[in-house]
Amino acid sequence: MAKAAIPCLRYKDAHAAIDWLCEAFGFKKHLLVPADDGGVAHAQLVRGETMVMLGAARDDEFGSLCALAQDAGGSTQSTYFVVSAIDAHYRQAVEAGAEVVIEIRDEDYGGRGYSVKDLEGNLWNFGSYDPWADPT
The domain that contains 109 carries what CATH number? 3.10.180.10
List the 99-106 sheet strands across, edge first.
78-82, 123-127, 112-117, 99-106
Burial zone of 4 (CB within 10 Å; 0-12 exposed, 13-18 middle, 19+ buried): exposed
d(CA 42, CA 27): 15
- Is residue 63, in this structure, part of any structural domain at all? no
Residue 1 confidence class, pLDDT cut points 50, 70, 90? very low
In a domain, 25, yes or no: yes
Residue 132 banded pLDDT, cuts 50, 70, 90: confident
pLDDT digits (tens, 9 = 90+) for 34-71: 999 999 999 999 999 899 999 999 988 988 888 888 88
Residue 35's domain spans which residues?
Answer: 8-57+74-127
For residue 62, being part of any structural domain is answered with no
What burial class does residue 122 get, using C-beta atoms within 10 Å of its C-beta: 0-12 exposed, 13-18 middle, 19+ buried? buried
Distance CA 71, CA 94 (A): 24
Would you say residue 28 lies in a domain?
yes
Give a yes or no: residue 41 inside a domain.
yes
